[in-house]
Amino acid sequence: MIYQFTREETASTTDDVKKTLQTKNMLVTGGAGFIGSWICTILANLGTHIYCIDNLSTGLTENIAHLHGARNFHFENLDIDSSDPPKIRVDGILHLASRASPEDYQREPVETLLTNSVGTRNMLELARKNDAFFFYSSTSEVYGDPSIIPTPETYWGNVNPIGPRSCYDEGKRFGEALCMAYQRKYGLDIRITRIFNTYGPRLREDGAYARVTSRFIRQALTGQNITIYGDGKQTRSFCYITDTVTAILKTITNKKAKGQVINIGNPHETTILQLAQKIRQLTRSQSKIVYKPLPQDDPKRRCPDISKAKQLLNWQPTTSLQQGLEKTIEWLRSRLGKQF
Ligand code: UDP
């Protein structure tokens, strides 16, 4: 059966984006992950030929199950750190492969560093051989615990280089530096986005893979305690997945993004306690809010300055936290079964 795309999955593509991408061959690393699977789905719908690779360390085959059978979609279970790069011809590489959940990457610190260093190098070499553009999904974590809020791209960061989060923070900082080195030395067309907290359907909600939004929604729907780390006064700014994907597509299709590093996120800042209360209210949950110790080096505030994305890409998020949470709750409710 041919998969029917939902309106959400196709809404983020303008005619310009469509025209540029529909004839291209694209490699997506981490294509079975949260953001990667959304990108594969939208590109597949445009007609782009997609070569999706993922070692399934955190990605799930169910995220791309609806694409199997499509003539323009090819999946391979491949580890970018250790395997030979695939022998394919591509016009562009979207490099999204990496663990991203703090509780998960801290369990696998060596792998996290290697994916963003050795893995990124392997993919940059492939881009060089193919004369392809290279998109690197970096993160707000390169800013560590920032002293400037909202944080612009010009801020250099406040990262503990030997702390428990350093495998991710420094891995991504190295990845960015390597991309810039390939641009300077080989003239590679590189585009980097620093992605702030993103949420929505397909964000894992289980165990150490869970991020705060999906974990709280699951706890609220199943009547478990909602676990706030610390006093809940730390902040994050949550961007709905279709807004993030729209920004990524604009980044890879807009010439002005060449050689640039761009913050992608929603500038609406909220405390973790406010998030818990909102989710409790939207799910009409009776779950108790409980407090647990704050993990070491947990950033106190995080909020993007998106002036550059607005100016370069003519992009800003359009989905409010309430709208995005409602859609995510609906998705998780049906995933968990009708009893909740
Ligand atoms: N957090 C929390 N309870 C949880 C999981 C996370 O209070 O069960 C907090 C975490 O300490 C952090 C924020 O929520 O301050 C966001 O955590 P997440 O794991 O989503 O990713 P981060 O933004 O830290 O990379």
- Write down the domain spans for the chain: 7-202+239-266+301-318
The per-residue pLDDT for 11 is 65
Is the CB of 144 within 6 Å of ligand 1? no
Residue with tokens 């409980």: 290
CA pair distance 107, 24, nearest whole angstrom: 37
Provide the residue count of the chain. Answer: 340
* Nearest by Cα to 136 from 103, 106, 181: 181
Whether 240 is catalytic is: no
Residuewise pLDDT in 10s, the chain (340 residues)? 455 667 676 666 777 788 889 889 999 999 999 999 999 999 999 999 999 999 999 999 999 999 999 999 999 999 999 878 888 999 999 999 999 999 999 999 999 999 999 999 999 999 999 999 999 999 999 999 999 999 999 999 999 999 999 999 999 999 999 999 999 999 999 999 999 999 999 999 999 999 999 999 999 999 999 999 999 999 999 999 999 999 999 999 999 999 999 999 999 999 999 999 999 999 999 999 999 999 999 999 999 999 999 999 999 999 999 999 999 999 999 999 855 5
pLDDT tens readout for residues 227-236: 999 999 999 9
The CA 237 to ligand 1 mean position distance, Å, reads: 12
Residue with tokens 């641009």: 183
CA pair distance 113, 151, nearest whole angstrom: 24
* Nearest by Cα to 270 from 212, 217, 332: 212
- Ligand 1, atom 22: closest residue by C-alpha: 102
The CA 324 to ligand 1 mean position distance, Å, reads: 18
* Nearest by Cα to 213 from 163, 266, 164, 165: 266
Residue with tokens 């949420």: 199
Is the CB of 165 within 6 Å of ligand 1? no
- Ligand 1 atom at shortest distance from the alpha carbon of 103: 19
- In degrees, to the nearest 5, what angle opens at C-alpha 139 toward C-alphas 137 and 145? 170
The CA 70 to ligand 1 mean position distance, Å, reads: 36
The CA 211 to ligand 1 mean position distance, Å, reads: 6
- Ligand 1 atom at shortest distance from the alpha carbon of 302: 23
CA pair distance 298, 196, nearest whole angstrom: 15
- Ligand 1 atom at shortest distance from the alpha carbon of 210: 19
The per-residue pLDDT for 1 is 44
- Ligand 1, atom 11: closest residue by C-alpha: 229
Task: Determine how many CB atoms are found less than 10 A away from the CB of residue 320.
Answer: 12
CA pair distance 89, 35, nearest whole angstrom: 23
> In angstroms, how far is the first alpha carbon of the chain from the final one?
30
Residue with tokens 């694409």: 67
CA dihedral 141, 147, 150, 156 (to 10 degrees): -60
59, 32 contact by CB (below 8 A): yes
- Specify the CATH number for 7-202+239-266+301-318; select among 3.30.460.90, 1.10.10.10, 3.40.640.10, 3.40.50.720: 3.40.50.720
The CA 294 to ligand 1 mean position distance, Å, reads: 9
Residue of 136, 143, 168, 199 marked catalytic:
168
Backbone angles phi, psi at 5, to 5 degrees: -75, 140
Helix axes 212-222, 321-336, angle to 10 degrees: 60
Task: Determine how many CB atoms are found less than 10 A away from the CB of residue 75.
Answer: 19
Is the CB of 195 within 6 Å of ligand 1? no
- Ligand 1, atom 12: closest residue by C-alpha: 298
pLDDT tens readout for residues 34-85: 999 999 999 999 999 999 999 999 999 999 999 999 999 999 999 999 878 8
- Ligand 1 atom at shortest distance from the alpha carbon of 232: 7
Backbone angles phi, psi at 291, to 5 degrees: -115, 135
The DSSP letter of residue 201 is: T
